[in-house]
Structure 1
């Protein structure tokens, strides 16, 4: 084994970077607040909340970083099993996606039977095959439909399929991690500028039709940031905390403008700083880590729950589609957490094990047949 490979193996411990798990919770809350803010009576524009859609890009950076943390060593050493990797990733995202997809269809059916007005994009049958195969963000779904946030899971699946490419490119720059980060940021900014010039809107606003492209620069940035983390070339802890606070302050200020190309790299810098926080520190406490673990369920259930809750409260309060008073709005928002906990423990975790077990059996059976 070469020195580089030994360094990669030793720099990728099996334990979780707990502060980054907690960071997932805050990313989910950011996205959810962005979506729910307009449903609050008397809500005023707040720059940071209006930029909540960038929470998805933070998830993408996290994904590139964490997958590199878990798999980069095996990829570099030649131990990476692409089939097992894809089974694990499919098991991670698909069961809850399928459950929320079915729930959206049931909602549409119930509302139609009751004669309620239904958003025409809640169900779009020509888009169903793309959603079933998790390719709706690849330009293969004619309309945004069903559980809309699932577009980002489709984009994640696109990145999973290409992870060996991302990993190989990142590994080639392992000796110059900050160069890798610089090149990633340059690529990100250039792609944002080119895309907006051609398409007339920001890539950070793309969902169904260009979501697979949106994840490419952020996932690549996450891989590059991991190289810096594994090289352990960051400043002392106090300086890291200061850099994280500074990044957050600049993000808050920049959120009042149209400069996503500045905010997204700063999110990456903040993530890198948080990754150096102690596992037993404030962001490593058990409550926040647990909330980070259920953040995927929070993200996947918040739109179906929003549709149910706002319609129900509109009928109970007699306000129709009008925004809700603060108390009822806050109750609906907070309720997402226990609903996500139920989805996490009743659907996500059990079905994840089922899918992994079926995938392993299929792989072993296929290997056995090929070996005969």
Structure 2
């Protein structure tokens, strides 16, 4: 989900508004996960379309990867590209899995009654596999939620992010605009079919055929649509773009469910329109935006800086929150919201501290080692 450019590419014009939008979406993801325990299904979630933030992240990543690397392949190699991706992505992957492992046994609850029976060696094995971002088999589902990464659920999207990066670097970067447009068109049809058939695009975090297909379908269109957009879009100068784009992102992700159990196709159409039309429009507007003040620039930089750490470390904290909700049957969202709000503030602060004390120093060290 990260879109930061490597230092070597800093001479290119930067898109600070896109950084800010990534941070806004990451914060909404946290609110989505904090509200989720009070729902019984996808039909009655309070932050109903928060799952679409992942699709927005994929599109942002495709756009910025294309912008950063498309015209540099004569000067760089596939190996160098992957070194830079590993340097950028893996430190927070490792930290997120480690925090999940540290907190694992303390999240024992009525929701996960068998956590205390999991041997330490098995939990450590899941952690070590998680460090590689490869999904664990269902036989190592130590939490019972059928997650690819039981210690940090959000790792599934990084797995598919890597797949998209691999496809780009070894093959799709060579596509002409026509060939890429055809690929994106086919991917859009597949995405719309998935959304309308299932009622939404939510899914992709379980290692079975159905869920892996969902994850792959969710990745292919937005990532490579972002790549195509980076090649064909000619940004203009749009005033107040950060404000309007932030509002659009919030409206899309906080929108209540469209249609009910009898008309799931309606919500599927909503998801399709958001991912295929609205998200590319938001990214185009964000890339075209003009910063009006240093304050706005600092806000966007802060949001962009914390976005990836926030995404990668909030769920190990959310496990504690979900366990607390589970152990206090009957608690309502009205009673829980003060605690949820404190967690939201806490994980934002935690993300910033991890950025400064861990992520940036480790990336700097890796940059020297992998140079």
1:105 and 2:101 matched: yes
Maintained 8 Å contact 1:247/1:270: yes
Structure 1 CA distance for aligned equivalents of residues 199 and 127 of structure 2: 26
Pick one of 218, 222, 225 that aligns with 2:222: 218
Q: 1:105-254 residue pairs with structure 2 within 5 A?
A: 105-110=101-106, 118=112, 130-136=129-135, 143-144=146-147, 145-164=150-169, 165-169=171-175, 172-173=176-177, 183=182, 186-195=185-194, 202-209=200-207, 210=212, 211-229=215-233, 232=234, 237=238, 251=252
Listed as ranges, the matches of 1:278-293 within 5 Å are 278-280=290-292, 284-293=296-305
In our comparison, the structure showing a higher alpha carbon Rg is 1
Counterpart for residue 268 of structure 1:
280
Question: How many equivalent pairs are there?
Answer: 329
Deviations 1:302-343 (A, max 9, x none): 11112234556988xxx4683443322212222211011111
Gaps of 5+ in 1: 1-10, 361-372
Counterpart for residue 368 of structure 1: none
Q: What's the counterpart of residue 72 of structure 2?
A: 74
Contact 2:239–2:289 (Cα < 8 Å) also in 1: no
Change (3 A) 1:331 1:314: farther
Q: Is the 8 A contact 1:138 1:212 kept in 2?
A: no
Q: Contact 2:36–2:45 at 8 Å: present in 1 too? A: no
RMSD over aligned CA atoms reads 4.0
CA contact (8 A) 1:17 1:279 kept: no
**Unmatched segments (≥5 aa) in structure 2:** 1-8, 259-266
Alignment match of 1:304 (pick from 305, 316, 320): 316
Are 1:61 and 1:219, in contact at CA under 8 Å, matched by a contact in 2? yes
1:95-129 deviation digits (Å, cap 9, x = unpaired): 111122122122124456xx987465898757556
Paired with 1:118 and 1:53, the residues of 2 have a C-alpha distance of 23
Q: For 2:251 and 2:369, how far apart are their aligned partners in 1? A: 47
Aligned partners of 2:115, 2:172: CA distance in 1, in Å? Answer: 34
Paired with 2:294 and 2:273, the residues of 1 have a C-alpha distance of 27
Q: Which residue of 2 aligns with 1:369?
A: none
Q: For residue 6 of structure 2, what is the aligned residue in structure 1?
A: none
Matched, 1:294 2:306: yes
- Structure 2 residue 56 is matched with structure 1 residue 55: no
